[in-house]
Amino acid sequence: MLQMNNFVNSKSSQQERSFMLREPSKCRVEGTLCRSYWDCCKGLVCQIDNPHVYNPEGFCNRQVDDSKDIKEKLYKLFYFRVICKINLKYQNRKLKEQNDEIKFGLLNEKQQFYLTNKKKKMNIQKLIAFILFGVILISSSVYLVSKSSHQEQVSMLTEDEECSPIGDFCRHSSFCCKGLKCQYEDPNAWNPSGYCVKW
């Protein structure tokens, strides 16, 4: 009799669970059974203890607020940045003190050699950066000049719509556009023909 009651109770609980999971119109509230993220209401997540089993089930729980962790990470990042800035200022001040000591001859030869090499490297880097800037400036200006001249040539060649541009077939220079001439393949031939080229 007891086994029969247990069987009936387990059967009814299974039916209730299946009914709860099959209701398509209502979302699952907190603490109810779920099988996917979409079963739960807004602000809840389906927390499944063992997602690797066949047909896994879980319960709808409130979503964990990670804003505190994000704020802590941002504060840590801010403090790390401040510490890095302080450390950089300290290193720069230390280097300046060492440079001042070089002027007064208070450092030994090894330290002087190291600092002079460092200064040389910095000067070389500055020179390379200046050269690169000049090359970029010159190349950009040359490109702009060539582009403007090309546009002028194109506009000059397309002034007359009836004329033939560069590379087109021609029988006389009058057929070619302004600034072009008809270069014959065989000028001694009867009724010679050629192509429009620059003067």
CA contacts within 13 A on the Cβ side of 22? 6
The answer on 38 and 91 residing in a single domain is no
Residue with tokens 């500055």: 126
pLDDT tens, residue order, the chain (199 aa): 445 444 444 545 554 444 444 454 578 888 888 888 788 888 888 888 887 888 888 899 887 655 666 667 777 777 777 777 787 888 888 888 777 766 666 656 667 777 778 788 888 888 888 888 878 888 777 877 777 765 665 555 444 457 888 888 888 888 888 888 888 888 787 888 888 998 7
The answer on 9 and 47 residing in a single domain is yes
The answer on 126 and 152 residing in a single domain is yes
Domain range for residue 23?
2-64
Q: How many domains does the chain have?
A: 4
Integer-rounded Cα Rg, in Å, for the chain is 42
Q: Is residue 38 part of a domain?
A: yes
Tell me the whole-structure pTM to 2 decimals: 0.25
Q: Is residue 53 part of a domain?
A: yes
Helices assigned H by DSSP within the chain = 2-22, 67-103, 109-157
Please give the torsion angle defined by the CA atoms of residues 166, 172, 173 and 178, in that order, rounded to the nearest 10 degrees: -60
